[in-house]
Structure 1
Amino acid sequence: MAQQSRAINVHLGQELKSNWAEYCAKIGKTPGVAIKEAVELLLETSPHPPLEQQDPPIDSEPKTRIQALVTPSEKKAIAARARLTRLSQQEWIREAIKEHLQQTETFTSKNEQKLTHKRQPKRANEPDSPIENKLLMAMESLIERNRNFGSVTVEELSKEAGIARATFYLHFSDKAELVAKLMQHLTKDVVDSAGTWFEKSQNPAGNINIRSTVSGIFKTFKKHHAILEAITHTSKYDQNVARLHQQMMDQLCAQSRHAIYKNTGGKLPEGVSYDILADVLTRVIEMYCAEYISDYDDEQLERLIDTFSHICHQAIFSTAP
């Protein structure tokens, strides 16, 4: 029985090969070794793609040959991933190389813009993965152009993000999985801004502190309005997204219950429950933001924050029955 070859020939195209060679020279590695490391990284970090037909990336540029040695188990894994995405092994490896170039901050050339979007400054609590960040910015851009997230296709989202559809499916099985991943970052951001809600205001004079925390909540929801819209649509049919959304709200409500009880000692007007009050205030803010926050400019947002701060202060500290 003939021994299975450990080599895979990959046709990159003259421009991509030149960019790859330039990058490899800068990091002091041979092209073959760098390809092997890029493939290993992608195999380690990528979830399994869906079992559905995928179109190979359209690229009319002439290809040139480059060769890399991989282990039998790596070659088997590459073949399995390529099969799942309905790409050839060569096409799958080309996507891995392109993605590795996109993720590497040290790669620079006059043709870099053809491979990546212009880099933007990192925002607080934004997704760490470059692919996730590109897709988040693409979502924001499409929604700001009045596109409904439910009608946006994976093809449109990938094109707006500047990635191949196959690259999207290397990371996510569908849009719902992308939303679930982005919601993890939203949850952390919201909990960070609302986790100490009311805790510093130890008496009714603490209105300024309430405004500060309410402001943090509203501005966080405003920043993530694209994810909020995606959650609203996706949670209607995806149980995992609905579950994660419920977990996020449970965390926020728990923080609010603790804060209200701590600052009132549970001494509210007769018949008023501090935990129900906390849940109502928290959910009203989230529901209002999900529906309307994207329409507010900066001046309107400040008035909205003032209004909800007043509502929260009166609801918590008023002694009226």
Structure 2
Amino acid sequence: MPSITRRAPNPERRASADAEILAATRRLLDGGATFTELGVQHISAEAGVARSTFYAHFKDKTALLLRLAGDMVETSFGVASAWEPDSGVAGLTEAFQQVVAIYRDNITMVLAVAEVSAYDATVRDFWSGLIAPFSARTVQVLEQEQAAGRTPSSVDVVNATRVIVMGGEKAIVDHVLAGDPDQDEAFARELALIWWHGAYRRP
């Protein structure tokens, strides 16, 4: 009786299929497709993989979107969280310029999240959860600045954070969609000044 051997999973092959599916989805979105109208078969064909391969890597389209969103927010969160008040407005401006660039590179994915969030609570909650660590980080830094006497004790750090984080994220999306790319630096500086003088160094 012939022996039956199972092939060990190939991590490189799996990573390659993951990358192909993610890249194909981005290409389709960048080409003007809406996420809702994209079918698994369409994505699989664009990626050059079978439907079964798609489902071996992603439970469904929602899982695929969450992966795309998670990768993007993790990158932008890392950039913004690296900023320290010691670097002042100049450092914050530079951080926001990098975040704007990340949003420009991923704007079709951001719009896809907004599209699906309108009818899918899972995606809506996931997006909010991605932003939550940055909000928590902002609260922590503001509290540290208050303890050091650099941020006024009158600043309500929780509500101030809600305004500057959620408002800032919406403003970045709006700027990327409607603003002139040549104005990215000016936009980043205005956003930095609003954060700095509106919360961190409020008179």
- Confirm or deny a common fold (TM above 0.5): yes
TM-score normalised by structure 2 residue count: 0.80
Q: 2: distance between equivalents of 1:180 and 1:216? A: 22
- TM-fit CA distance, 1:297: 5.8
Which amino acid is 1:174 matched to?
D
Mapped contact 2:93–2:185 kept (Cα < 8 A): no
Corresponding residue number in structure 1 for 2:127: 245
Unaligned runs of 5+ in 1: 8-32, 46-99, 105-128
Q: Structure 1 176/220 Cα, relative in aligned 2: closer, same or farther at 3 Å?
A: same
Q: 1: distance between equivalents of 2:38 and 2:164? A: 32
Corresponding residue number in structure 1 for 2:138: 256
Counterpart pick for 1:283 among 157, 166, 169:
166
Unaligned runs of 5+ in 2: none
Q: 2: distance between equivalents of 1:178 and 1:140? A: 11
Corresponding residue number in structure 1 for 2:101: 219
Q: 2: distance between equivalents of 1:132 and 1:293? A: 28
Corresponding residue number in structure 2 for 1:14: none
Q: 2: distance between equivalents of 1:140 and 1:301? A: 23
Mapped contact 2:138–2:161 kept (Cα < 8 A): yes
Corresponding residue number in structure 2 for 1:92: none
Q: Deviations over 1:86-143 (max 9, x none)?
A: xxxxxxxxxxxxxx7xx29xxxxxxxxxxxxxxxxxxxxxxxx322322222222222
RMSD: 2.9
Q: Structure 1 285/138 Cα, relative in aligned 2: closer, same or farther at 3 Å?
A: farther
Counterpart pick for 1:192 among 78, 88, 99:
78
Which protein, 1 or 2, shows the higher relative CO under an 8 Å CA cutoff with sep ≥ 6? Answer: 2
Counterpart pick for 1:299 among 182, 191, 198:
182
Which amino acid is 1:278 matched to?
T
Q: Deviations over 1:57-85 (max 9, x none)?
A: xxxxxxxxxxxxxxxxxxxxxxxxxxxxx
Q: Structure 1 263/220 Cα, relative in aligned 2: closer, same or farther at 3 Å?
A: farther
Mapped contact 1:268–1:274 kept (Cα < 8 A): no
Query: More helix per residue: 1 or 2?
Result: 2
Q: Deviations over 1:196-218 (max 9, x none)?
A: 344334xxxx2111212222322
Q: Name the count of aligned residue pairs.
A: 200
Q: 2: distance between equivalents of 1:152 and 1:219? A: 26
Counterpart pick for 1:164 among 44, 50, 58:
50
Corresponding residue number in structure 2 for 1:59: none
Secondary structure of residue in 1 paired with 2:113: helix
Q: 1: distance between equivalents of 2:160 and 2:82? A: 17
Higher radius of gyration, 1 or 2 = 1
Corresponding residue number in structure 2 for 1:309: 192
- TM-fit CA distance, 1:156: 1.8
TM-score normalised by structure 1 residue count: 0.54
